[in-house]
Structure 1
Amino acid sequence: MSSSVGSPTCDGLERDLDTGRASLRDMLTARDYRPPRSLYSPHLQSVLGSSALRRRRGRSAMAASGAVTTAHIIDAGDGVRLQGLHSAMPGVTPRALALLLHGWEGSAESSYMQLTAARLLARGFEVFRLNFRDHGDTHHLNEGLFHSNRIDEVVHAAAEIAHRYATRPMVVAGYSLGGNFALRIALRAQAAGIPLVHVAAVCPVLDPARTMDNMERGLPLYMWYFERKWRESLARKRKLFPQHHDFDDQVLGLRMRPLTQWMVERHTQFGSLDGYFQGYSIAGDRLASLSVPASILMSEDDPVIPVDEFRQLALPAHAHLDIAPHGGHCGFLENWRGDGFAERWVAERLDAAVDLSVATSPALA
């Protein structure tokens, strides 16, 4: 069974828009995701979702799109520099700007980022794929370490990107930790002057404390993967800034929880692991004040993030929650070729949202 929570804003999309595009009810929902039984395993979904096959699919999709992609350094405030990739179709006036955010230890070049970008480009969007601090090939840009409470710099970067490109409607989408950041950007969008018309999040981290607990109790593969990636990132940071980061290999050998505790105590102002986790939690009623319409896609069998957190969310009327019975963590593969339901879902939701914004605000046309 799939779970779907609608809203008056969603219902409003059911009106026939002047553009003649589909309404939100006509959009893909969790009920439309029907993988073959051979892909029911959440672990298979999660692993294949970030496999070499999918990376090749992502690169091919972007190459086939015909878009021109350029790298940019973005001023993120207080001397912070973030890097990202802007893609647009040559000779075409884009109808909207989409900002895409990757998951922890992913990058702007992750398969799901490229596949989502390709689908949005085909729908007339221009796309900016932002790298978080210390993700992708950007460790050299800032001395301080990345952590998940660095929301101020991401909001500042989003506002800067909007200032550079958003002469038309702007939307944001993110996966996993990127979904968490996307929803937090939406919470701050109005105050930051970011002209968002919709936000989409796939398997977003809600309560990081519970996510940590869940990973420690679950299949060791996920903890091993993230520990390995984070250690490599920290080692790279130490090599680039040895005077500022003089930790030894014993620190790099710590498991996830004590390593996070070490990072919190030395590189944040939170003082405790619980305070740090609470700092970027969006669980419970923390999304109730969202003023930007939102769409959230989650899988019932996500092996990383507990699904029951999503059923306990206090969401505003214009938020839409879709829960599919399968999909793993940000997998949602539709076949063994690597086609992804989540990328289609994101593109259709954002496309419909832009149509509504243009139909109801002629100045955005």
Structure 2
Amino acid sequence: MRQSFRPAWWLPGPHAQTVWPYVFRPLRSVPLQRERLELPDGDFIDLDWSTQSRHPGLVLVIHGLEGSSQSAYVQRLLRQLERHGLQAVVMHFRGCSGEPNRLQRGYHAGDTADIDYVARQLLLRFPQRPLAAIGYSLGANALLKWLGETGRANPLRGGVAVSVPFELHAAADRLETGFSRIYQHSLLRSLRRTVTRKHALRGFPDPRAELAAARDMRGFDDRFTAPMHGFRDANDYYAQSSCRQWLPKIARKTLIVHAADDPFLNRNVIPTAHELPNNVELLLTEQGGHVGFASGRIPGLARDWLGAYAAHWLAHHLKG
């Protein structure tokens, strides 16, 4: 493990780093072209494609909880990939592209079937193009779990996972403490809005009473995420969906970028070196927050270290 990230001195602590990407969004959005991909179960997901393609490689981008192609961290990555001439395709989880999905089920942190389906569809279309993927937060957990589940049969050239909730039960507990409850409040507000809109549009039962009873992430997962996706309860969902148990089975070249001060997860849940196979590198920084990692000496002029580092790593491993 090594550290090459130097945090901006004027963004001290994990919360400043975490909030920075949302306050200082890129001024220019990367142009994207949307494609609707029909799924075997009758549902759909939307893919957003960048137009850049000087490099033969293709990068599958997997956002975090309630994210999308317009999330600040995704837009920053797309700009960095653009500089390397890499084309990207952002896979939206079901219901995250601006239109509710058709089925009552949605998505969750261990939802690897859709990632597998999208990746294999891309390779069927472009068999000569090397494919890599990058996932953030919830998407990072799903990506690492999928890499472990598929082992040597995985179709990727490599993968990057950023700010990973390695053990979901521990992440739920962490969001119940201190300032991290602010993030929980924001996520729950977005989830409630998403569920309410979807149920009204699709004619599903009124969820407002259940939503009112779900006062934290564990409560929401217990009442919605778990039963909608075949789990007994939140504990069963967390146990089956956490990626940490799958890390030793990853066979593809993989980079994990994580900050020890991540306010979504306590330090003692970060995997140790003996848990990781030789092909998995953990770049553990002391600072960086959750999907933050902003550097720079001049106040207000932060450098996107995370996007630049990830794009460079992906371009390097997609050569040939």
Distance in 1 (CA, whole Å) between partners of 2:266 and 2:198 is 31
**How far 1:113 moved relative to its partner?**
0.9
Residue pair 1:179, 1:202 contacting (<8 A) in 2 also: yes
Residue pair 1:200, 1:346 contacting (<8 A) in 2 also: yes
User: Could you tell me which residue of structure 1 aligns to residue 30 of structure 2?
Assistant: 62
Residue pair 2:287, 2:293 contacting (<8 A) in 1 also: yes
Residue pair 1:215, 1:304 contacting (<8 A) in 2 also: yes
Q: Is the radius of gyration larger for structure 1 or structure 2?
A: 1
User: Could you tell me which residue of structure 1 aligns to residue 67 of structure 2?
Assistant: 106
Match of 2:58, SS state, is strand
- Counterpart code for 1:98: V
- Counterpart code for 1:81: F
Q: 1:348 to 1:308 in 2, by over 3 A?
A: farther
Residue pair 2:109, 2:139 contacting (<8 A) in 1 also: no
Q: Does 1:74 align with 2:37?
A: yes
Q: 1:343 to 1:117 in 2, by over 3 A?
A: same
Residue pair 1:74, 1:160 contacting (<8 A) in 2 also: no
Distance in 2 (CA, whole Å) between partners of 1:264 and 1:86 is 28
Q: Does 1:84 align with 2:47?
A: yes
TM-score, length of structure 2 as denominator length: 0.90
- Counterpart code for 1:50: Y
* Identical pairs, percent: 23
**How far 1:190 moved relative to its partner?**
6.0
User: Could you tell me which residue of structure 1 aligns to residue 183 of structure 2?
Assistant: 222
User: Could you tell me which residue of structure 2 aligns to residue 177 of structure 1?
Assistant: 138
Q: Does 1:255 align with 2:215?
A: yes
Distance in 1 (CA, whole Å) between partners of 2:120 and 2:150 is 8
TM-score, length of structure 1 as denominator length: 0.80
Distance in 1 (CA, whole Å) between partners of 2:29 and 2:267 is 31
205-214 or 256-265: bigger deviation? 256-265
Match of 2:28, SS state, is helix
Match of 2:30, SS state, is helix
Q: 1:77 to 1:205 in 2, by over 3 A?
A: farther
Match of 1:95, SS state, is coil
Residue pair 2:192, 2:211 contacting (<8 A) in 1 also: no
What are the Cα deviations for residues 52-111 of structure 1, in whole angstroms up to 9, with x where unaligned? x22xx1x51625xxxxx310112333223110101123xx55410000011101111111
User: Could you tell me which residue of structure 1 aligns to residue 318 of structure 2?
Assistant: 354
**How far 1:112 moved relative to its partner?**
1.2
Unaligned runs of 5+ in 2: none
Q: 1:312 aligns with which of 269, 272, 284?
A: 272
- Counterpart code for 1:299: A
User: Could you tell me which residue of structure 2 aligns to residue 8 of structure 1?
Assistant: none
Q: 1:197 aligns with which of 148, 157, 166?
A: 157
Residue pair 1:83, 1:138 contacting (<8 A) in 2 also: no
User: Could you tell me which residue of structure 2 aligns to residue 124 of structure 1?
Assistant: 85
**RMSD (CA atoms):** 2.1
Match of 1:326, SS state, is coil
What are the Cα deviations for residues 30-58 of structure 1, in whole angstroms up to 9, with x where unaligned? 32x2123221221111112222x22xx1x
